[in-house]
Structure 1
């Protein structure tokens, strides 16, 4: 049978993409042997491409909170573009969408996070935070407070500075990024891997104390800030043990260390509250947001500053020498406002707490009986399935075996998208996911685990 015009078109797109498109987080050599997958459309929790319909249990990259294909989002973008396609926010200029979005975020945010700086990605929001933290301590007359504390298994972006924050040497070494003297890493509160025989509460104390010990080792007078994701999403959906975050916040206050919380993944409702700070009971000095701020419909991010932090930044007359051409872009800001309106109108965050979140947790925990599964972690609509070689000792499979990638590939054959991260399968589906789609997710994942386990018996 001759190929259809559609097939010819797909092949053409793949060819020109391979010739000209340098893909992020992709092995360029792999694209020489296998073409890129072409995603053509999406609706709800499903994406369509190359004649297939796939359940996206990752909401893109943990972005599409309200689900794909919302007509009113497209209408909002079109109307905003017709009214004001672009204007900058430099030199005391604003527009209605940016002003209203800043006001809305200040109303929603926990604690006294009332000032907003707009950027275009989580990386840019965290980069902004790093610059403003240095600005803050210089203005406070403490120029030696320059070192940032981060954690193993952390992910905070891919710019030069934010890459240094990441607890992943694979993002440092290829680019020659040096962290010593700028960033110091401490242990992750990863109970399954490092908790041993400790209770959750005891491990929370142990992991928080590691931060205090590092502050004392270096000297509080040199530590500018501690940065952390409430849930370490990208590298394994690592859930904090009970009581960890209030202890961390207390340590930061004790030693005059700023607390930057990266809510790029968890912010805007994923844990069943607007922000994970509410879920875990603590308050930060700065908070970065992105992904769910517009549900990925437009590139936009925000850094929120506490009143006390903003007072120092704004205390003296001086031009803030920082910004991006498209900070607070009028179309992106309008789309973000519409996204928040939908989240509120449809009570999608409340649904996570009272209905779909508990169902998601209960359904995934049925996988605990599988011989490959060591732990299932769920908070709201973010989850991890931890693979193990030995359920008793928690021994991991060697990363080079690619066991987790094998499961993810087998899941793809079940028309299911999950994300492999070392020996962890990560999921964070759209908030609109139905119970039947969760059943489809778990059934597909169960089948993929079965296939992988059977293959391992022959190794």
Structure 2
């Protein structure tokens, strides 16, 4: 690596470990250092600007300079910079946020518990699945089903639910009592000539067989993202959730919706659960809850689950869960203001309108010789690159095609994310039509450059 002296890049390499990064390559390559942001753009330390085409990590819904959120945080910091929710105490603003979340939930919910990240919210939900069944006198009903390619976080429990090997390899995950069922990816998993509806039926039948094989009295919960994000922007096939939920209901298996990416307008409704007809018993949300300006997450639970919690905590003398920063007043204030902005600016309606041009523009790439499938909904999309379009043959993972595309997009001034060879695009919800066109133009140029490179290196 070139000697960087005492530059920010060299200090980063010396002191900072990056997530989801090849650490050896990072020692040679160093970081892209971002110094400021405005609207949907960020600026690096050389002064170059980029459209943030993944909204950071699927999260900066209101862009990078929303003054109302800065003001909300500042006022809250001056008023009450910290308080907790233990032993019958709470900041007043945390009550307001909990009430608001319950009022906009996709199905009737009873109570909210707060944490700091999507992973933590998932961990808490797992604890409550087990707590709930203990309260009902079902000590064996504890197994949890998630899906291949699911992403539910990286902590010990949440990382066990995640269906991506890289999250588990050499971390000694998953933990016990976690089961895996099919990834609902019609393009990759359907048989020749199998319709989306028939494939959904097969997924539901596979789930039912898994429950029967394990023993219905041992299976407690099923976790699902409405749209699978980090697994490759996988949109469920038609009738999928209708059929899955019928199986869950038949076997008294809880449904937990992971709305960490889909929540707050991303799919063209406030919740992905509304877009795809999920009726969850619990729901996790984070990311766009505060437009990622400050860490906060939430778990909403149904009345049945809450009453079981009441019963068990009465028996034990206390509900033995909580965290120092859960429901933090500054984070809660930012989240309350974020939700106000969504309503006042009709963000969900705007997403629905923008999605027409965005999705149509992405689908124009479907005819490109390098593109196997384009998929998406609302303001999230995925472009899957393939070595052979007709045979749907994937590139050798070592070829680095997705990473090459990502670098070329960055050269064009667009930051996106390559998930293997699927290009994920998820711009901030405040993006306007002209910026959608810019994003599509950058993607097209990066796609053509990648196709040329693939031909030259074949």
* TM-score normalised according to structure 1 size: 0.96
| Cα drift, residue 392 of structure 1 | 1.8
Cross-structure match for 1:340: 339
Residue by residue, what CA displacement relative to the aligned partner does 1:237-268 show, whole Å, maximum 9, x if unpaired?
00001111122122111101111111100011
- Tell me how many residue pairs correspond in the alignment: 449
Q: Which residue of 1 aligns with 2:142?
A: 146
1:278 equivalent to 2:278? Answer no
Question: Aligned to 1:419, which of 417, 428, 443?
Answer: 417
Is 2:287 the partner of 1:288? no
**Aligned pairs (5 A) from 1:158-307:** 158-179=154-175, 181-196=176-191, 197-307=193-303
SS in structure 1 at match of 2:325: coil
Matched, 1:309 2:305: yes
Instruction: Give distance in 2, aligned partners of 1:15 and 1:178.
Output: 35
Deviation per residue, 1:264-287 (Å, 9 max, x gap):
000111111111111111200010
Instruction: Specify the alignment match of 1:383 in structure 2.
Output: 381
Question: Which among 423, 441, 444 is matched to residue 442 of structure 2?
Answer: 444
Distance 2:402 2:420 in 1: 7
Q: Which residue of 1 aligns with 2:390?
A: 392
Distance 2:97 2:342 in 1: 14
User: In structure 1, how many angstroms separate the alpha carbons of the residues matched to 2:165 and 2:49?
Assistant: 36
Q: Which moved more, 1:311-320 or 1:88-97?
A: 311-320
Post-superposition shift, 1:11? Answer: 5.7
What corresponds to 1:72 in structure 2?
68
Greater mean deviation of Cα atoms: 120-129 or 244-253:
244-253
SS in 1 for 2:89: coil
Structure 1 match to 2:129:
133
Give the TM-score, by structure 2 length: 0.96
Cα drift, residue 23 of structure 1: 1.7
CA distance in 2: counterparts of 1:162 and 1:366, whole angstroms? 36
User: Mean Cα displacement is larger for which, 377-386 or 326-335?
Assistant: 377-386
**Cα offsets for 1:377-400 (capped at 9, x unmatched):** 121011111112222221111111
Q: How does 1:101-116 map to 2 (within 5 A)?
A: 101-116=97-112
The CA deviation at 1:27 is 2.2
* Structure 2 CA distance for partners of 1:32 and 1:282, relative to 1, 3 Å: closer
Residue 437 of structure 1, CA deviation: 1.1
Distance 2:165 2:371 in 1: 27
Residue 45 (1) aligns with residue 48 (2): no
Unaligned runs of 5+ in 2: none
How far apart are the structure 2 equivalents of 1:194 and 1:247? Answer: 17
| 271 and 178 in structure 1: CA distance in 2 versus 1, 3 angstrom threshold | closer
What pairs with 1:313-392 in structure 2 (closer than 5 Å)?
A: 313-316=309-312, 317=314, 318-353=317-352, 355-392=353-390
Give the match for residue 25 of structure 1. Answer: 20
Instruction: Indicate if the aligned counterparts of 1:249 and 1:284 stay in contact, CA closer than 8 A.
Output: no
Runs of 4+ with >6 A deviation: none
Measure, in 2, the Cα distance between the counterparts of 1:343 and 1:188: 32
Between the aligned partners of 1:114 and 1:409, the Cα distance in structure 2 is 46
> Separation in 2 of the partners of 1:118 and 1:66?
22
1:276-302 per-residue CA deviation (whole Å, 9 max, x = no partner) reads 111111200010000010010110000
CA distance in 2, matches of 1:371, 1:349: 34
Deviation at 1:13, TM superposition (A): 2.0
Q: Is the 8 A contact 2:159 2:174 kept in 1?
A: no
